[in-house]
Structure 1
Amino acid sequence: MPVLVGVGQVTDQWDGTTGAAGAPSPKSLCVSASEIALNDAGISASEIDTIAVVRIFEDSVPGDRHPHGHNTNLPGTIARDIGAKPERAIYAAVGGQSPQQLANEMAARIHEGEIECALVTGSEANKASKAARKHQVEINWADSDELPVEDRGMGALLLNRNEIKHGIIAPAYFYALFENAMAARAGQTRTERRHAMSALFAKFAAVAAEHPHAQFDTSSFDADFLATPSKANYPFADPFLKWHIAQDAVNQSGALVMMSEHKADALGIPTEKRIYLLGGGEASDDYISERPKMDGSWAMKVAIDRALSQAGKTANEIGAFDLYSCFPCAVFSSMAELGIDHETETRPLTVTGGLPFFGGPGNNYSMHGLVSMTEWLRAHPGEAGLVLANGGWMTKEAVGVWSSDRPDTFSPVEPYAKPSETVPIASDVSAGTIETYTVTYGRDGPMSGIIFARTPDGERFIAVAAPEALPRLLEEESPVGLAVTAETENERNTFRFT
């Protein structure tokens, strides 16, 4: 029986104004969080036989993105610095699903007798990186180790040529397309949607304001602030303002210690420290432009349903949630699948405050969700908590249901599922109706308009706004459903309103 016995997390506010002294690195943050987790479990690093590390930002993008030097073996150098000598090491693939997915995997390996004690950790030091460049401070992250590592690489591509050709290259652009499709389904104008997003996220900001490890001070972030464009809260991709978006300028790390119940008994770990994985679910989806629905997430539904079913729980039996909150639509989508109405729900929807307010440390945010959920469950024995971790553009989902109550049996999470249905992409584009849209912004204001549209035959095409179409796309309160014409040049479609 696998059990989670130790957790730790750290947040560092180093901002470069004091020079290089004390500057954190991804490795140093992981070391600190791991030592806290080991101390929480009351064990030595020598007990660890497996280390699994979430992939950092610098290793999650193409090319050489190591401005402060390359740590060529992050798992090995973390293990070395905490005094561990693991038999195996894993460096995860890209995606915010990684913390929960790795926890699911370690639980399965423990259950199957492959391993006995695993350390799962991850971090980001983007705040330090940005501050060092801003203040011209030299920091050095270069390091290496000889520990053999299973490096899982970049993983599957998250966007296709068609999306890239039309400028859909930033996470906010993908999620804005979801957000506006969901608004249309709900019958909301863009103004109404912005107020709904802000009302939801004001609750998240309030949780972050009370969390000791939040990177940002969000104590003054009410719904009016979040809904109002300002110098501190500028437009990014319609309908999002800055503080509707995950903030990656963080120095944060989290860590988990998992082991077999037999080993926990042998080491004398108290029962009040133990948290069990009751059930898990994982699923992945296709490229966003090929998905039949833009107003929800098939993968999210599958992962949630599987986790609850395996745990033998309904959503009503969950005491607290940590729902991935990179953008409001991710939360709205998961709430829809769980049957939750945020306006009336009294249970916690986040135990950290979420990615815009607690902090959005790249692929590793949900490690903090797991750490904070463990702390919540220890304080609420007998309750169950659900953590939803999301990667890509609601592309890769991993869910875990956790509790201090020991289950009678444990079942490993089923392998990823993928949908069998995709939407046909139009090869001959001339006219259609808008399915969803966004307007992207730069420092000088609106940059471009992007739409997904359907032809009369139900095929989809992507198009960017002709110069004369952009003002109307900005002015319309409800552009979804409007008719457009389109023309193609060099595989790039341009639309105009009819």
Structure 2
Amino acid sequence: MSDADTIPVIVGIGEIADRPADPARGLEPLALMAEALRRAEADAGADLLARIDSLDIVNQVSWPYAAPAQQLSDRIGARPARAVYGPVGGESPIRYLHEAALRIRRGDSRVAAICGAEATSTLAKAAKAGVALDWTPKPETFERPLRGRDIVHPACARLGVDQPITIYPFYENAAAHHWGQSPAEAAAESGLLWSRYAAATAGNPYAWLNRPFSAEEIVTPGPANRPIAYPYTKMMVANPMVNQGAALLVTSLAAARAAGIAESRLVHILGGAAANEPRDYLQRDHYHGSQAQDAVLEAARDLAGAAGFRALELYSCFPCVPKMARRTLGLGEDVQPSVTGGLTFFGAPLNDYMTHAACAMVRTLRAGGGRGLLYGQGEFVTKHHALVLGDAPGGLDPDYSVQALADGRRGPVPAFVEDAAGEAALETFTVIYGRDGEVSQGVAILRLDDGARTLARVPAGDADGIALLTAADRFPIGRRGRLRRAADGIADWQAA
């Protein structure tokens, strides 16, 4: 076996965005994935689908299938020895790409495919119009993906802070306060950063929203940009109402050469890193950063070496993620964080965004060389994976976990007390809004005098409390107040 037999390269990329005028004509996820794979094969310029020996399908939510790996293989005429339908996670496409490269590195694979798709927009429009979709029948029983309430403490579900949209604001506010920003300064940074994501969609035919957005319109609440969870508006969060599919084809360098694929079309996979935070976010040491994210990004930066990264894709479900990432990487506010457009503007086909990001990165590196960073994140600042691509091969270390480093940096985790009473200081917070833009309630993570942690509500009727949480001039983090048990059994916190 020659060295070329164990050097992994990305040889083909394929994407599709389906915008049917009639939802009855919309493509189902299986069809989107099959078409993305065919386009990846055409991009490679070689007959590869029938030769796929490893297939990874990104977990999809919009339409369940009985046996997605087998059903997709049948559609594309493949008989892979290994075909896997994976678990939920926004970082999962990067992990699948990384692991496919390592299988080629070991000699266990020669042609691998990674793909995913969602058709959430068509489903929503069909339901609204009362249209029955002629798609592959759903199985009578199927394994549903874990939801937030399946993962976090029951107290989080009771207060409505068991979904990404209500959890990431805890990090946003804690981090901005930790960096010495005012809420107005933090919002300005978010708006500027998000406008740069929007700019990255220019000329991308697969982007769902393909136009520039100013920082001001992104952060300013209004009828078309309602507040969702403070400080986030609709334009600052992921947009899952899309129909998009993407695919990657990876081979050994020897297989690519044998297929006649031009060397200028090949993008090498140099290596990466992965680590996780504790799954229950109440069991973390703090909310102004992530030890796992830091360890992963530092390892990726080291892989890039002195030349650094020519291009970046920093995961963008919510602004706090790339804001924390750019600081870890030592990048300024003028950073261009994306080659794709972000989960708000390009679109968020749920777990599959980073497959599209990998396609965009391949196009970028084919055009100009250098090294590119793909950084993905899953759950609630929980799962972190980074991968470095380039125009020349790297070492591709098989041991890519930096979990021990992340765990070694983690500080003491406060005990969680569900039925707390007495005085408590604000650790971080959010305010949740209804679809009408009116306040539903504030939610506070608090620290008791003995250092323990608890959760409490700031009722919508507490106008002074809500005003304190949403003031533009300063964060109330550290403010003390008193817990009182309300008639419904939930603890309310009132600032002193």
Q: TM-score, normalised by structure 1?
A: 0.89
Counterparts in 2 of 1:338-377, with a 5 A limit?
Answer: 338-342=329-333, 344-345=334-335, 348-377=336-365
Residue of 11, 14, 19 corresponding to 1:8: 14
SS at match of 1:317: coil
> 1:226 and 1:467, CA in 2 relative to 1: closer, same or farther beyond 3 A?
closer
Cα distance, 1:413 vs. partner? Answer: 4.4
SS at match of 1:436: strand
Contact in 2 for aligned 1:449/1:470 (Cα 8 Å) = no
Structure 2 gap segments, 5+ residues each? 1-6
Aligned to 2:3: none
Residue of 381, 389, 399 corresponding to 1:394: 381
> 1:410 and 1:200, CA in 2 relative to 1: closer, same or farther beyond 3 A?
closer
In structure 1, give the amino acid aligned to 2:53: D
In structure 2, give the amino acid aligned to 1:113: G
Aligned to 2:4: none
SS at match of 2:342: coil
- 1:138 & 1:449 partners in 2: Cα distance? 40
In structure 1, give the amino acid aligned to 2:123: S
> 1:85 and 1:223, CA in 2 relative to 1: closer, same or farther beyond 3 A?
same
State the percentage of identical aligned residues: 30
Aligned to 1:451: 444
- 1:131 & 1:467 partners in 2: Cα distance? 33
- 1:158 & 1:113 partners in 2: Cα distance? 37
Aligned to 1:53: 57
- 1:458 & 1:249 partners in 2: Cα distance? 42
Aligned to 2:257: 265
Aligned to 2:181: 188
Pair 1:178 & 2:171 matched: yes
In structure 2, give the amino acid aligned to 1:414: Y
Aligned to 2:190: 197
In structure 2, give the amino acid aligned to 1:386: L
Cα distance, 1:19 vs. partner? Answer: 4.9
- 1:319 & 1:75 partners in 2: Cα distance? 35
Counterparts in 2 of 1:251-330, with a 5 A limit?
Answer: 251-286=243-278, 287-309=280-302, 311=303, 313-314=305-306, 317-330=308-321
Contact in 1 for aligned 2:283/2:413 (Cα 8 Å) = yes
In structure 1, give the amino acid aligned to 2:495: F
- 2:429 & 2:235 partners in 1: Cα distance? 20
Cα distance, 1:38 vs. partner? Answer: 1.0
Contact in 1 for aligned 2:90/2:354 (Cα 8 Å) = yes
Structure 1 gap segments, 5+ residues each? 59-65, 146-150
Aligned to 1:41: 44
- 2:163 & 2:144 partners in 1: Cα distance? 23
SS at match of 1:20: helix
Aligned to 1:111: 105
Aligned Cα root-mean-square deviation (Å): 2.3
Q: TM-score, normalised by structure 2?
A: 0.90
Aligned to 2:118: 124
CA deviations on 1:83-120 (whole Å, 9 max, x unpaired) are 11111101111100111000111111111122221110
In structure 2, give the amino acid aligned to 1:83: G
Aligned to 2:400: 414
Aligned to 2:85: 91
Contact in 1 for aligned 2:340/2:357 (Cα 8 Å) = yes
- 1:452 & 1:405 partners in 2: Cα distance? 47
Aligned to 1:233: 225
Contact in 1 for aligned 2:242/2:347 (Cα 8 Å) = yes
Aligned to 1:482: 479
SS at match of 2:292: helix
In structure 1, give the amino acid aligned to 2:109: I
Contact in 2 for aligned 1:74/1:144 (Cα 8 Å) = no
Cα distance, 1:470 vs. partner? Answer: 5.0
Cα distance, 1:426 vs. partner? Answer: 4.1
> 1:308 and 1:223, CA in 2 relative to 1: closer, same or farther beyond 3 A?
closer
SS at match of 1:57: coil
SS at match of 2:389: strand
Residue of 207, 210, 225 corresponding to 1:217: 210
